[in-house]
Every structure is written in structure tokens, then in C-alpha cells.
Amino acid sequence: MAYAYDDQNVFAKILRDEIPCRKVLETGHTLAFEDIRPLAPVHVLVIPKGAYVNFDHFGAEASAEEIADFTRTVARLCADLGVAPGGEGNGYRLIANAGTAGVQEVPHLHFHILGGRVLGPMLVRRD
Ligand code: AMP
């Protein structure tokens, strides 16, 4: 697998503080901020600070420390945002789009945390 990372993508610019974001949480390896076009009452994006194009790139090449930090941060956000069903929340959906078929708009790995309402079916059937 060979991925070329485009350091001019919008999330790379956010990480370099070249454009602003509505920050939710930051750790040593991870940044979370509000999606600029929210699709649900809770819509937060979580990105690793490292230059990874998508999840399979991250899973293959990130350090154990980066992966642990990212995963723990997603879990902490689900709790902090009040959507974790193990707490007071009603649940959430995690989405990580990749590539053309996944309709990925920004080529820097990001998880969408969506919640705050019943989100409906995962996908609409085409058949
Ligand atoms: P995806 O289609 O999975 O690549 O999703 C990219 C997401 O990034 C979309 O939900 C956009 O609304 C969001 N987005 C694009 N630019 C920004 C930005 N400057 N700040 C916050 N979210 C953004």
C-alpha cells in the first residue's frame, strides 16, 4: 500500500493553524473539532495529527501510541458529548469515509462522531 499525503488539504491547514476550527478536544496525537456543515445535533470530527490519508493507512503505519491516543480520544469524546449509551447517551454513529467509493472529501483521516438524534438507516438501498 502506498499513499501520497497532500499537505494542502483543509485538515492539514487546521493542524498548522492556517485556518480556524471550533476545537472540542486536543491531545498529544489527536484533534477534535466541530464539523462546519453539521448533519446532526452532535457532529464532531476526530483526526490524528499525523499525516494519514485514511483509516487503513493509519492502521498500517501509525505507532501504537498514536493508535491508542486516537482510540481513547474517540471514546472520551463519545462520553463527553453525552452520546455514549454506556452513560446517559442514546448512542452514536462513527463514520470514516475512504476513497472514491467511500466518497471521502478531505484526504486526511477523520472519524465523524454523529449523534443527538436517531440517525436513520446506515445506507439507502439502491436496489
Ligand atoms: P468526508 O466526506 O468524510 O471527507 O467529510 C469531510 C467533512 O469535513 C465534511 O463533513 C465537511 O463538512 C467537513 N469540513 C470541511 N471543511 C471543514 C472545516 N474547515 N472545518 C470543519 N469541518 C470541515
pLDDT tens-digit readout, 20-70: 999 999 999 999 999 999 999 999 999 999 999 999 999 999 999 999 999
Options 29, 57, 108, 110, the catalytic residue: 110
Does residue 1 register a pLDDT over 80? no
What is the per-residue pLDDT across 40-51, written as a single tens digit (0 to 9) for each? 999 999 999 999
CA of 47 to the centre of ligand 1 (A): 11
CA-33 nearest atom, ligand 1: 21
Does residue 75 register a pLDDT over 80? yes
CA of 53 to the centre of ligand 1 (A): 14
Pick from 77, 86, 82: nearest CA to 116 = 82
CA distance 87 to 17: 34
CA of 36 to the centre of ligand 1 (A): 6
Please answer whether residues 47 and 30 qualify as being in contact, where contact means their C-beta atoms are separated by less than 8 angstroms: yes
CA-37 nearest atom, ligand 1: 12
Q: Give CA separation, 118 vs 38, 84, 89, 93, in Å.
A: 15, 13, 12, 10
Global pTM reads 0.97
Pick from 86, 16, 22, 18: nearest CA to 51 = 16
* Average pLDDT of the segment spanning 97-101: 98
Residues β-bridged to residue 93: 114
Does residue 95 register a pLDDT over 70? yes
pLDDT of residue 45: 99
pLDDT of residue 70: 98
43 classed as catalytic: no
- Pocket probe mutation, ligand 1, options 45, 46, 113, max atoms within 8 Å of Cβ: 45
pLDDT of residue 29: 98
* Average pLDDT of the segment spanning 76-99: 97
CA distance 115 to 76: 14
pLDDT of residue 125: 86
